[in-house]
Amino acid sequence: MQSTPSKTCAVIGSGVAGLAAAIRMQNKGYQTTIFEANAFPGGKLSTESLNGYRFDMGPSVFTMPHFADELFELSGKNPRDYFNYERLDPVYRYFFEDGTVLDGFNGMDQYAKEMASKTNDDEDTVLNYLKKTERMYNLTDEVFLHNSLHRAKNYFTKAVVKGLLNFGKIGAFSSMHNANNREFKDKRLVQVFNRYATYNGSNPYVAPATLNVISHVEIDRGAFYPEGGMHSITKALVQLAKDIGIEFRFSNQVNQIIVEQKTAKGIVTANGKEMFDCVVSNMDVYNTYHKLIPEVKKPLKTLNQPKSSSGIIFYWGIKKQFPELNLHNILFAEDYEAEFNAMFETKTPYHDPTIYINITAKHTSTDAPEGCENWFSFVNVPNNQGQDWDAFIDEVREAVIQKVNRILKTDIRPLIDCEMVFDPRVIENRTRSAFGAIYGNSSNNKFAAFLRHPNFSKKIKNLYFCGGSVHPGPSIPLCLLSAKIATDSVEN
């Protein structure tokens, strides 16, 4: 019979990283309680329904599922008893204004064949590029993704020493665009690979070419679809957490982290003080410092780094099915560089935006009424600096409709059955992401991607951090790794 844990842990926020951190802490012998300001779990990885349409509200691409499975195995459970997933092929369908349609197939060989058949670059060129990103991934994986870069002892492992000795080979001194532009003749292929900068809300014309490793994860390692949609990941983790004895407190916003003698001692909610042996914050690190521990000296150099992009999302019920669309679709802007300049320089949406359309009804038919589709239509926009978002929403909606109509040769305006809209203000309020910046700090300088906030506090004992705003960064697998690094840092 399992003994009652003698130590306690509070986790602030039930995003995927918060759930993972809680599960790991419970398995370390801490009685863990999750405090969630919303009435529902998941943070960005949540769901809403409207007029018979169900929508995943945030992350829509699932890679490296073994990091999620690991949480169940750690808890002595079979992950397949909680959720299942299938490998996608193709992963993406890309649409260009000139009528080109490219399928981003699974696996290097098939991917290269497709790209060579429809662009001006040959198979060997594409394959050589994909193999180069694989080598970059192998050099950076153990160094930057699985370790804290903020502990000196981690620099003396064999893998880290190897990675650091090969630092010049990981593209840190070139921008993504410059690196990709050297590799490919066809500007459409350059655009396809530049877009991976948006996975952490950055500008490919500035961000380091190291981020090209993201394409390797998706193309070679695979992207997956969880049965029932992305929110099934959250449902599975919540159920696992309950099964192993974690307590949830929904609609229970944490207002303060109690710090005494440079040690985190507990939290304060509307219900009063509660004392804990350690605290893990899954809240955006900027807001953690400014709202929960405002009296603590802030690491301003990190907190004040430029923030990532945000998004305007139209959740549309569409009264028609479009067989030419897949689960994941990208409709590219004609002038990609101008789009990023608008986003990061003038802080405005671009008049001809790149549009991402995710349609889970392609795999889960019950996500939309019969003969209909649920469109998650996403446009990258700047984070919230006080712009007139109401005016921008109207402009972006019109631009999206016109672009979809033009590329698909249709008219979706009368097909829009219902609509929900998220903009940076809604994202900020719903997910506590500072300025509505979905991905925390951007990677728009050579070293920002490598120097995110650590997963522990250097000033406050027993305070830890997880989630997309801290090391190693945003995305489901990196958030899961942030929880592992954070909880591995806990001193028993």
What is the per-residue pLDDT across 411-455, written as a single tens digit (0 to 9) for each?
999 999 999 999 999 999 999 999 999 999 998 876 666 678 999
Give the integer Cα–Cα distance in Å for 451 and 323: 43
**Predicted local confidence at residue 155, as pLDDT:** 47
The answer for residues whose C-beta is within 8 angstroms of residue 477's C-beta and 6 or more apart is 63, 64, 67, 217
Which domains does the chain possess?
7-50+61-86+229-305+444-488 (3.50.50.60), 108-224 (no CATH), 306-431 (no CATH)
**Predicted local confidence at residue 170, as pLDDT:** 66
* Cα Dmax for the chain: 66
| pTM, rounded to two decimals | 0.95
SS3 284: coil
CB 332 within 8 A of CB 300: no
Query: Both tokens of residue 51?
Result: 């007029």
pLDDT tens track, the chain, 492 positions: 345 678 999 999 999 999 999 999 999 999 999 999 999 999 999 999 999 999 999 999 999 999 999 999 999 999 999 999 999 999 999 999 999 999 999 999 999 999 999 999 999 999 999 999 999 998 888 767 766 665 555 544 555 555 555 555 566 779 999 999 999 999 999 999 999 999 999 999 999 999 999 999 999 999 999 999 999 999 999 999 999 999 999 999 999 999 999 999 999 999 999 999 999 999 999 999 999 999 999 999 999 999 999 999 999 999 999 999 999 999 999 999 999 999 999 999 999 999 999 999 999 999 999 999 999 999 999 999 999 999 999 999 999 999 999 999 999 999 999 999 999 999 999 999 999 999 999 988 766 666 789 999 989 999 999 999 999 999 999 999 999 999 999 976
The region, left, alpha or beta by phi > 0 then psi within -120 to 50, assigned to residue 261 is left
Question: Which helix (DSSP H) or strand (DSSP E) does residue 144 occupy?
Answer: none
Residue 85 CB neighbour total at 10 angstroms: 20
Query: Both tokens of residue 404?
Result: 């979809």
Give the integer Cα–Cα distance in Å for 316 and 174: 39
3-state DSSP helix/strand/coil % of the chain, to nearest 5: 40, 20, 35
CB 441 within 8 A of CB 200: no
Question: Which helix (DSSP H) or strand (DSSP E) does residue 304 occupy?
Answer: none
Give the integer Cα–Cα distance in Å for 57 and 124: 39
